[in-house]
Structure 1
Amino acid sequence: MTVTAARPSSVVPGSFDLSVTLYCDNAHFGGEWVWNLIRDGRLNRRDIWHRLGTEDRTAWLAVALWTSAYQRRARPDSAPGHVFTLDGQAVTDIVSFYCALGEAINGPGGYFGWNLDALSDCLCGGWGASSPFTLEWLHSDVARQHLLAHPAVAAGQTLFDLLSEIFDAKGIEVILR
């Protein structure tokens, strides 16, 4: 962040209004509106990301990563054994899966990975949940159908299967509903 201008505040005597330029090395084009939701206090309900396409969801996740990294500082994870509910109804691709998982664990605008390596890192703790925990995956059949359509990660393996393996390896109980 670079301060580009400072002037006495016209609103709060003795204070200053600052103009700043922010730099984020993982910023994605199109994410400005998400930053505006945060700034204006309007990122306060679930499912806002549902109406977005894949590119806008990717920008959403970039903002979620940076704001969550800031918000998580010195904040403990949910206690081991917690049950999180993931709504798979809007999971239409892997990006929407990460949006849904971040929201399930950390609330509106929450982050819990944006690729398989980041998911694995988040499952080690420090991002809202400590294992072991339980993930109750509602509408898992809807998500499974969409995730089956993605190219296989390895021969004979689906993306849905790979996600299940990752959760299992980290001691996460997944209940498919």
Structure 2
Amino acid sequence: MHEDENHRRRTRYTLTETEHSHAWGVCAEVEGLFGEPRRGTYELVGWVPQADVRGWVGNRVWLVPDDETLDPWLLEDAESLGQICGTDSLVVTGLDDYEGPPEGHRGRVRVHDGQRWLGSCREFARVLPAEQAAPPLVLRGLAQSDQLRAALMKGTRQALNLEQAALEVQDDQGEPLAERLLWTRVSAWRPSSYGSDLIDLELDGELFTPVPEYARPVWERWLAGPPDVQDAWAGLDTRRRGAWLDLVRERACRRPRCDRPAGHAYELDGRHITDEPGLYLALGEAVNGPGGYFGGCLAALDDCLRGTFGFTAPATLHWRDAATAREHLSHALTPDGQPYDLFCVVLDVLSQGGMHVTLA
């Protein structure tokens, strides 16, 4: 490995103090970056299935109360743990949205995944998890700044409280990839085996949300550098395509962009658009090349069409194998369960944004 590659790996992670933007230090490895985020667990009492709900359920699962005065409740990255033996209850877990039916809601709740109705229950209840200490976040081989060295030497509770910080992540080419915010304090430090004058810094991970384990292969692919061919995501399932799209979005926010002039003709490879993440990944690569970003939802797509994301209106998009997207995206559900045609809506958004689409 060349010396500059070694250096880039040693500086893959930067711990930054967010208020004044100074770096606490840089390191090569972070233990605890990947893990299992804290998930809400719910018992759906009186479960009446309309589809087979086992294992991973969907990126965005909506619980829709019959009481129309209440908004639907979103459960992200939902998983089914199956029915409780001897009962009519289904147990699901997921990352909670802040809105939705109140705890102990007694009315019927219908459940869908954005494409199909999964079933309904007569009520739901939160299952409180057992208290469990969050694992620490350990920055191994950290080259500490003068500010951090002074704080560690002082050693007081106030000095070791780093408050709000950001863990900035670069790929092996030295390009910014992602960022994770945390509110934390130093819990321990020790000399590192990575080299002299380096330390292993242990941070309280109580308020840190780790990257889910299922996304680790996607992150490891991107940490090596961005893809140099299109459709590198095509073999992934919907869950991991969502993780790929998250990184594409994060990376795009940290890189300068140059809009092509008006009148440009884009080519969209539609062979792998079998789900919503695939739609936005293919659109991003059509406009901005391998690993490119051009929206991750309808609102973001509309924003990208207004400029500064590689596109200037008017332009033309030649959508090859459009029948694949039409087949998989024409039957969608709004959060409150109303059917709509996502494929046609996307075409309308593109048209209104100055992108003339031809289908093939």
User: Match for residue 202 of structure 2?
Assistant: none
Whole-angstrom CA distance in 2 between matches of 1:28 and 1:140: 33
The CA deviation string for residues 148-176 of structure 1, in whole angstroms up to 9 with x for no partner, is: 13336996741111111111111210000
Question: Alignment partner for residue 70 of structure 1, among 243, 254, 258?
Answer: 254
| 1:44-83 equivalent positions in 2, closer than 5 A | 44-71=228-255, 73=256, 75-83=257-265
**Misfit runs of 4+, over 4 Å:** 25-28, 152-157
Question: One-letter code of the match for 1:69?
Answer: C
- Secondary structure in 1 aligned to 2:233? helix
C-alpha distance 42-145 of structure 1, shift in aligned 2 (>3 A):
same
Question: Alignment partner for residue 24 of structure 1, among 170, 173, 180?
Answer: 180
- Secondary structure in 2 aligned to 1:51? coil
The CA deviation string for residues 51-84 of structure 1, in whole angstroms up to 9 with x for no partner, is: 111111111111001112222x2x3211111111
User: Match for residue 138 of structure 1?
Assistant: 320
Alignment of 1:33 onto 2:213: no
Question: One-letter code of the match for 2:346?
Answer: L
User: Match for residue 105 of structure 1?
Assistant: 287
Question: One-letter code of the match for 2:318?
Answer: E
Question: One-letter code of the match for 2:269?
Answer: D
Gaps of 5+ in 2: 1-13, 16-24, 26-138, 145-165, 169-178, 182-208
Question: One-letter code of the match for 1:172?
Answer: M
Whole-angstrom CA distance in 2 between matches of 1:28 and 1:65: 15
Q: Is the 8 A contact 2:280 2:294 kept in 1?
A: yes
Alignment of 1:94 onto 2:276: yes
User: Match for residue 173 of structure 1?
Assistant: 356
User: Match for residue 346 of structure 2?
Assistant: 163
Post-superposition offset of 1:27: 8.4
C-alpha distance 39-140 of structure 1, shift in aligned 2 (>3 A):
same
C-alpha distance 27-116 of structure 1, shift in aligned 2 (>3 A):
farther
Alignment of 1:123 onto 2:260: no
Alignment of 1:149 onto 2:326: no
Alignment of 1:6 onto 2:181: no
Query: Scaled by the length of structure 1, what TM-score is found?
Result: 0.80
Relative to total residues, which structure has the larger strand share, 1 or 2? 2
Q: Is the 8 A contact 1:27 1:62 kept in 2?
A: no
C-alpha distance 49-166 of structure 1, shift in aligned 2 (>3 A):
same
Gaps of 5+ in 1: 8-19
Root mean square deviation, CA, Å: 2.6
Greater relative contact order (CA < 8 Å, ≥ 6 in sequence): 1
- Total equivalences in the alignment: 163
Whole-angstrom CA distance in 1 between matches of 2:210 and 2:324: 30
- Secondary structure in 1 aligned to 2:274? coil
Question: One-letter code of the match for 2:247?
Answer: V
Post-superposition offset of 1:42: 5.8
Query: Scaled by the length of structure 2, what TM-score is found?
Result: 0.41
Seq. identity, %: 34
Q: Is the radius of gyration larger for structure 1 or structure 2? A: 2
